[in-house]
Amino acid sequence: MTSSCPRTSGRNDAIDALVRNVVNTRYEDLSQGAVDATKTFILDAFGVAIAGTLAPGVLETLGLLSDWGGKAESTVLVSGERLPAPSSAMMNSFLMHNQEFDPVHDLAVVHAFTTVLPVALAVAEAQGGVTGRDLLTAVALGVDVACWIGISSRSPIAHFRPGTLGAFGAVAAAGKISGMDHATLTHAMGIVYSQISGTLQPHTEGVQVNSMQTGFNARGAVTAISLADRGVQGPAEVLEGRYGYFPLFEGEYDVVDVLANVGRVWQVEQIGHKPFPCGRLTHGAAEAALILKERHGFKAEDIDEIEVLVPPLPYRLVGRPLEEGIPSPQYAKLCIPYVAAVALLQGTVFITDFWEERLKDPAVRELAGRITAMEDLTITDQNVMVPQTMRIRLKDGAEHELTLDQILGHPDKPLIRDQHLAKFHACWAAGASHLPESNRDRLADLVDELENAPSVEEIIRLLVP
């Protein structure tokens, strides 16, 4: 059904099909592709959380949560503090998202692991007795829920989906770990819907709280699961009711694909790697710049001007110019001219390229000033990120052009295993110098065989001092 109005037919709200699939699905029902992808991106999320310890706002947020204190029931990754499950879920989600390096579903525009995994870990630790197989199954199902909802939208993104949809996915994962029945998990979905939040205003302004929004929703998801477990009721028409998610947060939507394919098609298989720690919508510019530079052998100082032609979604969210003054790290990560300039000058883009020294680099600023993002007005779909075209004109008059129909890291253009591990190792080296290097390799091996891991605690032990 395609609609911009509340559901009027006799069928149940679409959340019913998603909840039923979560409750009924076993590990054995997952495709091998779903199992492999879930393990790949769990390790990826751990790596970016380690790098996330270096981001602005981490010490302040952890200090506040520690000051609040409470029951020591789950662990903050890398530093090792023991906090109440809502607090550790919030903190770990912030760590996974604050470098803009976390896995993402390109079409749904959802960083699903970033809310789902921290909540699953927090609830698993608090509950105890949860195996690696339990965790893997729950995370795959949680990602599925978040992404199915996201790809059902037919309207331009207007809210921060990594937070809003991540909350639904996180409740699904936690409910699976807790063994909730259909009715209780439906109540939990309704309770988390009553809390979800996420706005694109911090994204637009490039401020720290943008990357905290997944954490706020992770905290809300743990609260929702806990309240539902104690018998608190939530609304049932979560997605399609008169004031449900689709009418209020999205607009037009179509759930036909969800109803036909949930439990048969696994959205975790469509999650993409991020090769660069910046907004996914900037990656086409970075990739195209690197390809053209290698292909034609020019240097940054040879460039006269660059145009990057992008669909409406990336133009609206990351097509911003680099303004006067030193940009915030968050603003720079979401700015096509800055990211493309760094790629051309440095030969890659890494977390250090959003630290003060690089942000103040006059060479980056000068080159970024010659790069312009332009909207491709021939594209009417408001939710696609490709195709993207880069046109470079050199000072000698030569012109070079490249169109990308898919961006590196997408399942159709994936990072190979060596690239995946190189990213994980780089993140570990940046943020985990206080942990034994042997833990790094043991963690990778353990996640590779996650379905055989006896407990979630065994995983956590490798990520703390």
Give the HSE-up count for residue 300: Cα atoms under 13 Å, Cβ half-sphere.
18
What are the b/e assignments for 76-105, b being 16+ CB within 10 Å?
Answer: bbbbebbbbbbbbbbbbbbbbbbbbbbbbb
Q: Across 205-294, where does the E strand assignment appear?
A: 253-254, 271-272
Q: 97: helix, coil or strand?
A: helix
CA-to-CA distance for 262 and 144, rounded, in angstroms? 8
Are 140 and 266 spatial neighbours (Cβ–Cβ below 8 Å)? yes
Question: Of 27, 122, 124, 130, which Cα lies nearest the Cα of 76?
Answer: 122
Return the pLDDT at 323.
Answer: 85
Cα separation values, 443 from 78, 149, 449, Å? 13, 32, 10
Give the pLDDT band (50/70/90) at residue 5. Answer: very low
pLDDT digit string (tens) for 234-269? Answer: 999 999 999 999 999 999 999 999 999 999 999 999
**H or E segment at 258?**
helix 256-261
With contact defined as beta carbons under 8 Å apart, do 228 and 191 qualify?
A: yes
Q: What's the Rg (C-alpha) of the chain?
A: 21
Q: pLDDT tens-digit profile of 398-447?
A: 999 999 999 999 999 999 999 999 999 999 999 999 999 999 999 999 99
% of residues, the chain, pLDDT over 90 = 97
Which pair of tokens denotes residue 157? Answer: 């993104």
What letter would DSSP give residue 328? P
Q: Are strands 388-394 and 303-310 parallel, antiparallel or unpaired?
A: antiparallel
> Mean of the pLDDT values across residues 384-411?
98
Residue 106 CB contacts under 8 Å (≥ 6 apart), including other chains: 270, 272, 280, 385, 407, 410
The per-residue pLDDT of the chain, averaged, comes to 96
Shortest CA distance to 310 belongs to which of 376, 395, 231?
A: 376
Name the residue among 44, 111, 3, 1 with its Cα closest to residue 424.
44
Which CA distances in Å does 195 have to 52, 69, 94, 198? Answer: 25, 22, 18, 10
d(CA 248, CA 114): 23
Q: Looking at residue 124, what is its pLDDT?
A: 99
Looking at residue 226, its pLDDT comes to: 98
Q: What secondary structure letter does DSSP report for 351?
A: G
| Contact between 145 and 15 (Cβ < 8 Å) | no
Task: Kindly give, in sequence order, each residue whose CB lies less than 8 Å from that of residue 202, ignoring residues fewer than 6 positions away.
Answer: 160, 208, 209, 210, 213, 330
The answer, yes or no, to whether residue 8 has pLDDT greater than 50, is no
Alpha-helix runs per DSSP H in 69-112: 85-97
Task: Determine if the peptide bond prior to 321 is cis (ω within 30°).
Answer: no
CA distances from 79 to 58, 114, 208, 260 (A): 11, 18, 21, 44
Q: Give the DSSP H/E element, type plus range, for residue 146.
A: helix 132-152
SS3 content of the chain, % helix, strand, coil (to 5): 55, 10, 35
Q: From residue 458, how far is each of 35, 131, 430, 439 by CA, in Å?
A: 19, 9, 23, 11
For residue range 94-149, what is the model confidence (pLDDT) as tens digits?
Answer: 999 999 999 999 999 999 999 999 999 999 999 999 999 999 999 999 999 999 99
Which domains are delineated in the chain? 2-272 (1.10.4100.10), 280-404 (3.30.1330.120)
- Rounded CA-CA distance 161/153 in Å is 11
**Alpha-carbon distance 309 to 262, whole Å?**
35
Cβ contacts of residue 265 below 8 Å, gap of 6+? Answer: none
> Is the model's pLDDT at 40 over the cut of 60?
yes
Residue 324's pLDDT band, with cuts at 50, 70 and 90, is: confident
DSSP letters spanning 414-432: PPPHHHHHHHHHHHHHHH-
Instruction: Give the pLDDT band (50/70/90) at residue 42.
Output: very high
